[in-house]
């Protein structure tokens, strides 16, 4: 009798991962996922042990965003699974393809309040694009195929697959026919390109409003080509940064709450918005009723539900941006508009002359941006440092600026940088973090230590939850509430405890040498940059205000 | 306070018969700001297709909800049919 090797659910998982080209996964083991961790032994997939499941989820997000692929994370049932949720919510808000695998208690125990049982399937409904719970071993392979397909199809997003322990152990008897793929059920209506061209030709003050969808659609080249051939002035959302070539003379920078003055004024005065992969987020529009009040809208998106959601479109062009945008390239007669905005850009250019010896965060970030090698990937956490990075650093591709845009999740930066670095081992990866945010996933320094991930951490340390402090000063009469962090740990000692080379700087004169030392260093590096706690992010559009009514610093 | 006018709509949703599909529809409907006034769900065991009739009200346009329900993976189609209201 010949012995045919049996295939378990756990082994099948890694087979399917390998078939999808997955080389790296991030996770944390536990009781209900032990058969999968056992099968890991015999697979070619490399597993990175993170030190918290949230770290695993964010590393998967960073991996996916930096490499333009699917990120995979694993967690056990109960608390392991719930710890993934913030990362999944983040991936949903920013449309990031992630496949999360959770262990579940055995099917016979499900629904009995078993040890470490939580209804993660139920919890997943609001924080994933789609989710599955596998209760029959012969469904597992099809479900895993679908999970990858759904994560990548159309508007990308996170998919969770919950696998009970007995299914992980069970023997696969029926294989799934890989040719019977999912069908894209959404039939997109044909766009009226002629109507769009008509709007374009009539426009005297058009603006190209670039969002995160451009990178997701792999359409950076097409968008740059459109911007250059038409000469249309462009603005970008937080997630769209890097899509437009920063050297394009008609590029005006980021729009919205902390956007450039020129970008916001230009949008308010525009008579046509060509919206590519963006969704009129409230942080972008300010007071919606007063956003670009005289503009017609041509809206390109892959997601039907974004059309007319917050702003009515005069022409909607649904589907693949890469295929659709080139048909709109046309000659525009907008020299006066271009010149006016170019002049405004010069008049309102960022200034880095800052009195005194204290370090000026925008200037440090500008220095790093100027000195970092091309194709450096920068991640951020959330707060003032995030906005300064968005304002003062330049990126040559959206996959080189990873920030938690839709969800604004503190704790994103460090684990996302780890994921990014693992997906792109030959590129420099810098995490710009804050003294509040870094503590939210500080345990991931142990992941850096274990795998010697050469991430550079730049900690903008104001000893405050700076962004909240800024709002308390501006909008709550300076009644500071729970935003002081003056008893922070000794960060240099902390990093050193994880064998990470670390240095603190406090004066302007130290900046250049420290940045060079960091960039030249072979392994991980932690640069603590002390700044004045009173610095604010400018300009600022106050909440529920039109974007041309910006507050500016003195 | 300005008075809110709620519009009523009736939706007919065709879906794959999955245990979770009703939960997904309820979650999206609540989250997108629609009140459910009545719901009826039936499964055709022949083709494993579920038909869900739901009457909802909201001050928001119904297209917002239709587009979001349509995005759910297990949904085959959504129609607004106010004839039976
Ligand atoms: C998980 C999470 N909790 C709370 C917030 C609210 N929040 C936004 S910015 C911020 C302060 C961040 O402080 P820090 O990381 O030091 O950055 P800074 O603004 O000082 O540069 C807080 C608390 C958030 N965005 N995410
Ligand atoms: Mg801070």
Tell me the DSSP string of A411-447. Answer: T-HHHHHHHHHHH-TTS-EEEEEETTGGGGGGGGHHH
Asked if B24's CB is within 8 angstroms of A125's CB, the reply is yes
pLDDT at A137 over 90: yes
Long-range contacts of A195-199 (CB under 8 A, 24+ apart): A195/A314, A195/A315, A196/A298, A196/A315, A196/A317, A196/A328, A197/A328, A197/A330, A199/A272, A199/A296, A199/A298, A199/A314, A199/A315
User: What is the tens place of the pLDDT at every residue in B34-79?
Assistant: 999 999 999 888 888 999 999 999 999 999 999 999 999 999 999 9
> Once rounded to an integer, what is the mean pLDDT over residues A202-223?
98
Domain that holds residue B71: 7-84
Task: Give the ligand 1 atom nearest the CA of A388.
Answer: 21
Q: Is B2 contained in some domain?
A: no
Give the CATH number for residue A508.
3.40.50.970
Task: Tell me which of A15, A34, A116, A342 is the catalytic residue.
Answer: A116
Which residue has tokens 């799934």? A176
Pair (A213, A252) in one structural domain = yes
Pair (A226, A264) in one structural domain = yes
- pLDDT recorded at residue A105: 98
> Once rounded to an integer, what is the mean pLDDT over residues A167-187?
77
Pair (A417, A320) in one structural domain = no
> Once rounded to an integer, what is the mean pLDDT over residues A452-466?
98
pLDDT at A1 over 50: no
- Can you name the residues that pair with A171 across neighbouring β-strands? A8
How many domains is chain B partitioned into structurally? 1
> Once rounded to an integer, what is the mean pLDDT over residues A20-42?
98
Give B27 to chain A, closest Cα distance, Å.
7
Pair (A297, A247) in one structural domain = yes
Say whether residue B6 is in contact with chain A using an 8 A CB cutoff: no
- pLDDT recorded at residue B2: 65
Out of B23, B64, B73, whose CB is closest to A130?
A: B73
Q: Is A353 contained in some domain?
A: no
Q: Cβ of A311: how many Cβ atoms within 10 Å?
A: 18
Locate A428 and state its tokens. Answer: 């420099």
Percentage of the residues of chain A whose pLDDT score is greater than 70: 97
Which residue has tokens 């049932």? A77
User: What is the tens place of the pLDDT at every residue in A246-305?
Assistant: 999 999 999 999 999 999 999 999 999 999 999 999 999 999 999 999 999 999 999 999
Q: Is A223 contained in some domain?
A: yes
Domain that holds residue A240: 193-347
Q: Is A326 contained in some domain?
A: yes
User: E strands within A185-283?
Assistant: 206-210, 234-236, 251-254, 272-276
Q: Quote the ligand 1 centre to A469 CA distance (angstroms).
A: 10
3-state secondary structure of A506: coil
A467 is catalytic: yes
Contact in structure between A430 and A417 (CB atoms under 8 Å)? yes
Is A465 near ligand 1, meaning CB less than 6 Å away?
A: yes
Asked if B20's CB is within 8 angstroms of A303's CB, the reply is no
Q: Choose one of A365, A383, A462 to mutate for the ligand 1 pocket test, by most ligand atoms within 8 angstroms of C-beta.
A: A383
Asked if A186's CB is within 8 angstroms of B67's CB, the reply is no
Q: Which residues of A touch B68 (CB under 8 A)?
A: 305
Locate A362 and state its tokens. Answer: 């925008």
Give the CATH number for residue B31.
3.30.70.260
The b/e string for A252-270 (b: 16+ C-beta within 10 A; e otherwise) is bbbbbbbbbbbbbbbbbbb
Q: Is B1 contained in some domain?
A: no
pLDDT at A355 over 50: yes
Helices first, then strands: H and E counts in chain A:
21, 18
Q: Is A95 contained in some domain?
A: yes
Mean residue pLDDT across chain A: 96
How many domains is chain A partitioned into structurally? 3
Percentage of the residues of chain A whose pLDDT score is greater than 90: 95
DSSP letters, chain B, are -PPPPPEEEEEEEEEE--TTHHHHHHHHHHHTT-EEEEEEEEEETTTTEEEEEEEEEESS-HHHHHHHHHHSTTEEEEEE-GGG-
Task: State the pLDDT confidence band at A49, using cuts at 50, 70 and 90.
Answer: very high
A401 is catalytic: no
Spatial distance between the Cα atoms of A168 and A107, rounded to a whole number of angstroms? 11
Q: Is A120 contained in some domain?
A: yes
Contact in structure between A162 and A123 (CB atoms under 8 Å)? no
Pair (A18, A144) in one structural domain = yes
Pair (A519, A381) in one structural domain = yes
User: What is the tens place of the pLDDT at every residue in A394-414?
Assistant: 999 999 999 999 999 999 999
pLDDT at A358 over 80: yes
> Once rounded to an integer, what is the mean pLDDT over residues A217-244?
98
Asked if A121's CB is within 8 angstroms of B20's CB, the reply is yes
Task: Give the ligand 1 atom nearest the CA of A434.
Answer: 15
Q: Is B22 contained in some domain?
A: yes
Is A160 near ligand 1, meaning CB less than 6 Å away?
A: no
Pair (A453, A384) in one structural domain = yes
* Best residue of B28, B65, B67 to probe chain A, by most A CBs closer than 10 Å: B67
| pTM (predicted TM-score) | 0.97
Q: Quote the ligand 2 centre to A464 CA distance (angstroms).
A: 4
ipTM, two decimals? 0.94
CA angle, residues A132, A134, A137, in degrees to nearest 5:
150
Query: Which residue of chain B has the CA closest to A132?
Result: B20
Spatial distance between the Cα atoms of B84 and B17, rounded to a whole number of angstroms? 24
Contact in structure between B23 and B77 (CB atoms under 8 Å)? no
Q: Which residues of B touch A305 (CB under 8 A)?
A: 64, 67-68, 70-71
Rg of chain A in Å (alpha carbons): 24
- pLDDT recorded at residue A400: 98
> Once rounded to an integer, what is the mean pLDDT over residues A470-496?
98
Pair (A396, A457) in one structural domain = yes
Say whether residue B70 is in contact with chain A using an 8 A CB cutoff: yes
Q: Is A551 contained in some domain?
A: no
Pair (A145, A216) in one structural domain = no
Pair (A505, A426) in one structural domain = yes
Q: Is B58 contained in some domain?
A: yes
Locate A423 and state its tokens. Answer: 């997906």
Asked if B68's CB is within 8 angstroms of A304's CB, the reply is no
Cis-peptide into A122, omega within 30 deg:
no
Pair (A268, A371) in one structural domain = no
Q: Is B73 contained in some domain?
A: yes
Q: Is A185 contained in some domain?
A: no
User: H-helix or E-strand containing A388?
Assistant: helix A384-392
DSSP classification of residue A136: S
A116 is catalytic: yes
The residue from A347, A376, A401 where one domain ends is A347
Pair (A383, A469) in one structural domain = yes
User: CB pairs below 8 Å between A and B: how many?
Assistant: 30
Spatial distance between the Cα atoms of B69 and B24, rounded to a whole number of angstroms? 9
Q: Is A482 contained in some domain?
A: yes
Q: Which residues of A touch B67 (CB under 8 A)?
A: 304-305, 307, 309
């Amino acid at each position: 009798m010949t012995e045919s090797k049996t295939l378990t659910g756990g082994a099948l998982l890694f087979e399917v991962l390998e078939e999808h080209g997955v080389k790296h996964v991030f996770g944390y083991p536990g009781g209900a996922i032990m058969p999968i961790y056992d099968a890991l032994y015999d697979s070619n997939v490399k597993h990175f042990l993170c030190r918290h499941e949230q770290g695993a989820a964010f590393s998967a997000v960073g991996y996916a965003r930096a490499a333009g692929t699917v990120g995979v994370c694993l967690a056990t049932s109960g608390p392991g699974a719930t710890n993934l949720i913030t990362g999944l919510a983040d991936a949903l808000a920013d449309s990031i393809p992630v496949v999360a695998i959770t262990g579940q208690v055995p099917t016979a125990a499900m629904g009995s309040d078993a040890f470490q049982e939580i209804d993660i399937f139920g919890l997943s409904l609001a924080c994933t694009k789609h989710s599955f719970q596998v209760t029959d071993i012969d469904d597992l392979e099809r479900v895993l195929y679908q999970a990858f397909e759904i994560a990548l199809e159309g508007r990308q997003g996170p998919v969770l697959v919950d696998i009970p322990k007995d299914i992980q152990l069970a023997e696969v008897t029926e294989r799934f026919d890989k040719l019977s793929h999912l069908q894209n059920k959404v039939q997109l209506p044909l766009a009226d390109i002629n109507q769009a061209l008509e709007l374009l030709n009539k426009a005297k003050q058009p603006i190209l409003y670039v969002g995160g969808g451009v990178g997701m659609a792999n359409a950076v080249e097409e968008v740059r080509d459109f911007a250059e051939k038409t000469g249309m002035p462009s603005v970008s959302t937080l997630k769209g940064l890097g899509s437009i070539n920063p050297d394009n003379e008609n590029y005006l920078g980021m729009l919205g709450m902390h956007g450039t003055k020129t970008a916001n004024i230009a949008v308010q005065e525009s008579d046509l918005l060509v919206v590519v992969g963006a969704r009129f987020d409230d942080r972008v529009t300010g007071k919606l009723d007063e956003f670009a009040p005289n503009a017609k809208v041509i809206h390109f998106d892959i997601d039907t539900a974004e059309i007319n959601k917050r702003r009515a479109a005069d022409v909607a062009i649904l589907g693949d941006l890469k295929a659709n945008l080139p048909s709109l390239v046309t000659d525009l007669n907008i020299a006066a508009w271009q010149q006016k905005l170019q002049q405004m850009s010069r008049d309102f250019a960022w200034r880095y002359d800052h009195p005194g010896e204290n370090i000026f965060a925008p200037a440090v970030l500008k220095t790093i941006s100027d000195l970092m090698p091309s194709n450096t990937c920068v991640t951020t956490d959330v707060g003032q440092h995030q906005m300064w990075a968005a304002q003062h650093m330049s990126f040559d591709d959206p996959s080189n600026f990873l920030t938690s845009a839709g969800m604004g999740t503190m704790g994103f930066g460090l684990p996302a940088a780890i994921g990014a670095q693992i997906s792109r081992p030959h590129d420099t990866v810098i995490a710009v973090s804050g003294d509040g945010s870094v503590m939210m996933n500080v345990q991931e320094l142990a992941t850096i230590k274990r795998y010697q991930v050469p991430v550079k951490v730049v900690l903008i340390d104001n000893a405050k939850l700076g962004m909240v402090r800024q709002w308390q000063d501006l909008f709550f009469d300076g009644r500071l509430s729970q935003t002081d962090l003056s008893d922070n740990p000794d960060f240099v000692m902390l990093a050193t405890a994880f064998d990470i080379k670390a240095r603190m700087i406090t004066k302007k004169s130290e900046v250049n040498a420290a940045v060079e030392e960091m960039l030249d260093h072979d392994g991980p590096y932690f640069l603590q940059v002390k700044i004045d706690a009173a610095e604010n992010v400018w300009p600022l559009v106050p909440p529920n205000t039109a974007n041309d009514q910006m507050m500016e610093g003195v | 306070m300005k008075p809110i006018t709620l519009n009523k709509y009736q939706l007919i949703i065709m879906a794959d018969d999955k245990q979770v599909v009703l939960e997904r529809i309820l979650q999206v409907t609540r989250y997108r700001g629609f009140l459910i006034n009545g719901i009826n769900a039936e499964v055709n065991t022949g083709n494993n297709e579920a038909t869900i009739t739901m009457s909802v009200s909201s001050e928001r346009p119904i297209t917002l909800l239709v587009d979001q329900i349509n995005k759910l993976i297990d949904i085959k189609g959504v129609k607004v049919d106010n004839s039976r209201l």
